């Protein structure tokens, strides 16, 4: 993370559905903390199902090139996917992760505590490896004498496991509890999960005690999910291979109520992209009632990843100070306010109170 940039160029890809309603809110949040940032520039970019239906491509080359050549980071909204398979269409988000080598999916899940003196009941970060494991999609269907047989390859490399491990150690080191839990199933999958576990454990070696203050624990994935539901407070930073990470990050999201409040970033060594965890929510799209918090928090998380801590802190504080009193909330959190009203409320706190 470097804060020595002269300017910060941010690609905005609202894509489909409520992405178009919540990404503008995230943009406003960044503008509201401009004084903490170098000169901010936004570039609007296309991708998604609507782009595909109009142009025949879900992820225009121009979008990828602009992100690569001109942007420091980006915010992605959400894509609608057709209910059946459509020839030529594939998710632009998956393609973007690949094109930009965004190998880490980072998802903080934090409940809001009404009493500022008490810590939140859930305050954890799931760090998911984003490029390999079963999701390399190397599947085969074979006809045998005994019927069909399906096989999939699960790829785990030392390189991918150590780089995700390094991200997880960095995050753990920066948090008050400094606890890292490695999630695996190496009692059964001793080769693949064994390599993941060993590679993450090896990260602190040879870096001169840099991570000496981080406590390392391990959990088998099944018991991790069980404990996540029974005693989520035991977790701080969890790091997992792709498949387990996918499941755990959605399970963790369920602990804090609405999908509308959970942010994420997709990070690589050269680029970071903020993305709310929710989808395009076709059931509420266009009504102006989507919760903008997930996107606003994604903007903060992206800024934090880039090293702009004070800007991120301001945004997160305004969000918490909006959620805790629960006076101005969208319908998913039991409120009656619109996207614009919640956004304005958060912006006013940022601009006038801190």
Q: From ligand ATP, Mg ion, none, which one binds at residue 155 (CB under 5 to 8 Å depending on kind)?
A: none
Catalytic member of 103, 135, 211, 244: 135
Q: Sort strands 104-110 and 272-274 into parallel, antiparallel or unpaired.
A: unpaired
- Output 183 or 290, the one with its CB closest to ligand ATP: 290
Q: From ligand ATP, Mg ion, none, which one binds at residue 69 (CB under 5 to 8 Å depending on kind)?
A: none
Q: From Mg ion, ligand ATP, none, which one binds at residue 115 (CB under 5 to 8 Å depending on kind)?
A: none
Q: Is 135 a catalytic residue?
A: yes
Rounded to whole angstroms, the maximal C-alpha distance in the chain is 73
Closest separation in Å from C-beta 262 to Mg ion: 12
- Output 320 or 330, the one with its CB closest to ligand ATP: 330
- Output 59 or 168, the one with its CB closest to ligand ATP: 59
Catalytic member of 185, 236, 244, 316: 185
Contact 105, 266 (CB under 8 A): yes
Site string for Mg ion, 272-291 (x = CB under 5 A): -------x------------
> DSSP code of 144?
E
Contact 156, 196 (CB under 8 A): yes
CA angle 117, 119, 121 (to 5 degrees): 140
- Output 21 or 123, the one with its CB closest to Mg ion: 21
Q: Is 222 a catalytic residue?
A: yes
DSSP β-bridge partners for residue 143: 148
CA 110 from centroid of its chain's CA atoms: 13
Q: Is 213 a catalytic residue?
A: no
C-alpha pair distances (Å), 285 with each of 16, 46, 139, 331: 9, 18, 35, 13
- Angstrom distance (rounded) from CA 131 to CA 241: 9
Q: Is 185 a catalytic residue?
A: yes
DSSP β-bridge partners for residue 183: 219
Nearest residue to 235 via CA among 102, 107, 103: 107
Q: Is 193 a catalytic residue?
A: no
- Output 16 or 72, the one with its CB closest to Mg ion: 16
Give the interface with ligand ATP as residue ranges (CB under 6 A). Answer: 18, 78, 80-81, 259-260, 278-284, 290-291, 294, 330, 332
Q: Using CB under 5 A as the criterion, which residues of the chain lie in contact with Mg ion when the complex forms?
A: 279
List active site positions: 135, 185, 222, 246, 250
């Amino acid at each position: 993370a470097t804060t020595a940039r002269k300017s910060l160029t941010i690609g905005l890809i609202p894509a489909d559905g409520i992405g178009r309603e919540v990404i503008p809110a995230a943009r406003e949040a960044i503008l509201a903390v401009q004084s903490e940032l170098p000169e901010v520039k936004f570039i609007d970019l296309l991708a998604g199902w609507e782009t595909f239906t109009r142009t025949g491509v879900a992820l225009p080359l121009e979008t990828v090139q602009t992100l690569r050549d001109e942007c420091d980071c980006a915010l992605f909204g959400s894509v609608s996917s057709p209910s059946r398979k459509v020839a030529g269409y594939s998710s632009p988000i998956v393609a973007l992760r690949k094109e930009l080598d965004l190998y880490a999916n980072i998802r903080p899940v934090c409940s809001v505590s009404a009493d500022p003196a008490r810590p939140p009941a859930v305050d954890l970060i799931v760090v998911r490896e984003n490029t390999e494991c079963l999701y390399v999609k190397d599947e085969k269907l074979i006809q045998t004498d005994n019927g069909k047989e399906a096989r999939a390859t699960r790829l785990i490399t030392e390189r991918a496991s150590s780089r995700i491990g390094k991200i997880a150690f960095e995050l753990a080191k920066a948090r008050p509890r400094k606890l890292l839990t490695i999630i695996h199933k190496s009692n059964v999958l001793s080769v693949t999960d064994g390599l993941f576990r060993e590679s993450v454990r090896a990260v602190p070696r040879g870096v001169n005690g840099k991570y000496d203050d981080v406590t390392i624990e391990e959990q088998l994935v099944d018991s991790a999910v069980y404990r996540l539901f029974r005693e989520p407070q035991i977790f701080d930073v969890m790091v997992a291979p792709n498949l387990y990470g996918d499941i755990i990050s959605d399970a963790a999201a369920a602990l804090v109520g609405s999908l509308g409040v959970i942010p994420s970033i997709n990070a690589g060594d050269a680029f970071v992209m903020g993305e709310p965890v929710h989808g395009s929510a076709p059931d509420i799209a266009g009504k102006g009632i989507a919760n903008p918090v997930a996107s606003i928090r994604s903007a903060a998380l992206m800024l934090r990843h880039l090293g702009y801590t004070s800007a991120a802190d301001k945004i997160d504080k305004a969000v918490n100070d909006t959620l805790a009193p629960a006076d101005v909330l969208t319908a998913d959190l039991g409120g009656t306010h619109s996207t614009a009203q919640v956004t304005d409320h958060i912006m006013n706190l940022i601009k006038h109170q801190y």
